[in-house]
Structure 1
Amino acid sequence: MLNYFQIASSMIRDIGMKPKIALILGSGLGYLTCEFQNSTAVYYSQIPGFPASTVQGHSGRFIFGNFHGIPSVAMEGRFHFYEGHEIRDVVSPIYLFKEMGIERLLITNASGGINKTYSPGEIVAIRDIINLGFRNPLRGPNEEKFGVRFPDMSSVVDLEWLARLRERLCRDGHELKEGTYIWTLGPSYESPSEIKSFEFLGADMVGMSTVPELIAANHCRMKTLALSCVTNMASGILKEKLSHDDVVRTANRIRHRFSDIVGKALEVLKEIDDE
């Protein structure tokens, strides 16, 4: 098992900055780090024993810098179970962030829309999750320094942070929809019949990430916000074939809108912390 404390201490010492917030950037969303000031990159490959990201649109590095006036660290590329990683490796960044002393986490992803009121390019806040992957990163011996053996999952995101962001966007004349995200193992996209069953279960979006990270963050008692870019409608909702290239193209098409929402999420966070 990785020594998260040792890696975190070494990174903070070498970078010369202690982040207050961490961001996990999904497929095609790594452009947000272009807005970091005084940034420094640390590639996953530079960290002994750390997993590697293998997916297009995931560059595989940490970016440290100031983002909207907050010392931050972002992951350009996450780890997915379908890449062959162990489930503990998928969430290793969460425990690394915790050892850095980070208490706030903003997760982004690209998802397929199941809710027929959604449209490609829409940004939806995740309010709840369904773990259809049936993999739990907390399986095995519990590390008490991170959290309890049986963590409560009634609120997987920080509802105050979400409510304040929604109010802020509403004042600016924009609506922020909320929905339930269902996690599937991938890497194949879902069949139309599977999507129908997910809709019956109450899912609004489907994707191949995020749920393990939210479980681990909740275990660590981190306050989390999760934003999903609906890059395509799920299989059977529309007749178009699905491809990862389309996911990345849509994420890039709405980059200014997504960047604006993430920026407002950080501004709201500063207001909450200053109160």
Structure 2
Amino acid sequence: MTSTPSPNAFVRATETTAYIRSKLPASLQTPRVAIVCGSGLGGLAETIEAEPRVELAYGTIPNFPQSTVQGHAGKFVFGVIGTTPVALLVGRAHFYEGHTMDLVSFATRVCKVIGVGTIIVTNAAGGLNQTYAVGDIVCLNDHLNMPGLIGQNPLMGPNIEEFGVRFPPLSDAYDLDLRRRAHIAWKTLGLDRGKRQLHEGVYAFVAGPTYETRAECRMLHTLGADLVGMSTVPEIVVARHAGIRVLAFSLVTNSAVLEAGPRGDDPTIQGLTSAELMEHLSKGKANHEEVLEAGRDAALDMQALVKQILSDLQET
């Protein structure tokens, strides 16, 4: 590893891959599928067989950014699910932590260099679509890249030809065959008869770290978003630039409030105590503890779904 990181992401990803492979047995050196575990969804790592299995903390991996968020363990786990060699990213780096878009998406580029052809990305998100319930799972079929529209795109700067073309299309970002397999797997497992639903929807990526205001939620919903969150899209942009197939899931951890809050001159709030006023404003208020709790509750269904999809892919 050089003392000064190369500005070229392909060079850095190649250095990182060489280090990782030096820690892996031959059977795990070229994983076919990568899985990114979002907030509260680190339990997906339990899907990996006990042997062979190698865990590498992000802090030990050259060039890797560090995640500082509760619920993100920060480790790269290599192993086998069924007969498929996989790489799990348990936790991710976020733009709001102060990382550049290049660093936020760096792990995805490492996945490309190490041989990954398919990536399954998970996240926790707020539900803008009022038909979604907390605990439902949404298979993403499109996104709104709000930071990207104002210049915060992970592909900004000179194009790295080793990864892909200068102007990659994203109209096919969310692989249709993989989405079809997800719905089939959901029914195969009998999850369609359970307490949560599997939807398809559009994810709005915002920078964070604040949760959205009521007006921002209404704006995003008006623009066509069904969900809102602070991750995932930079990884997907870089994955598609590099020709990696993408399947993405959001876990609905709270239902966003779309109606405007009470006005100060509303007759119904006159005479209320400060505590009663706070109760009015706190309706639908999001918090990170709820995100983690919803993740724990849905973890088993998400694990089963991912494992079934991988099993299906093995047969083709």
Question: What is the TM-score when the length of structure 2 is the normalising length?
Answer: 0.83
- Mapped partners of 1:120, 1:151: distance in 2: 34
Alignment of 1:100-111 (within 5 A): 100-111=114-125
Of the candidates 157, 166, 170, which is equivalent to residue 183 of structure 2?
A: 166
In structure 1, runs of 5+ residues without a counterpart are none
1:248 aligns with 2:302: no
1:128 aligns with 2:142: yes
Alignment of 1:114-263 (within 5 A): 114-134=128-148, 135-173=152-190, 174=192, 176-236=198-258, 239-263=283-307
Which residue of 2 is the match for residue 35 of structure 1? 47
Of the candidates 13, 22, 35, which is equivalent to residue 4 of structure 1?
A: 13
Which residue of 2 is the match for residue 23 of structure 1? 35
Aligned residue identity for 1:86: T
Asked if 1 retains the 8 angstrom alpha-carbon contact of 2:19 and 2:62, the reply is: no
Which residue of 2 is the match for residue 85 of structure 1? 99
State the SS of the aligned residue for 1:99: helix
- Mapped partners of 2:33, 2:284: distance in 1: 38
| Larger fraction in strand | 1
Shift of 1:40: 1.3
- Mapped partners of 1:11, 1:119: distance in 2: 40
Asked if 2 retains the 8 angstrom alpha-carbon contact of 1:190 and 1:235, the reply is: no
- Mapped partners of 1:42, 1:169: distance in 2: 31
Aligned residue identity for 1:197: M
1:64 aligns with 2:78: yes
Structure of higher CA gyration radius: 2
- Mapped partners of 2:48, 2:181: distance in 1: 23
- Mapped partners of 1:94, 1:35: distance in 2: 21
State the SS of the aligned residue for 2:177: helix
Q: After alignment, is 54-63 or 174-183 more displaced?
A: 174-183
1:167-226 superposed Cα distances (whole Å, 9 cap, x missing partner): 332355526310000001000000011100111000000000001111000100101100
State the SS of the aligned residue for 1:34: helix
Identity, in percent, stands at 38
Asked if 2 retains the 8 angstrom alpha-carbon contact of 1:64 and 1:74, the reply is: yes
Question: What is the TM-score when the length of structure 1 is the normalising length?
Answer: 0.95
Aligned pair count reads 272
- Mapped partners of 2:254, 2:59: distance in 1: 31
In structure 2, runs of 5+ residues without a counterpart are 1-6, 260-281
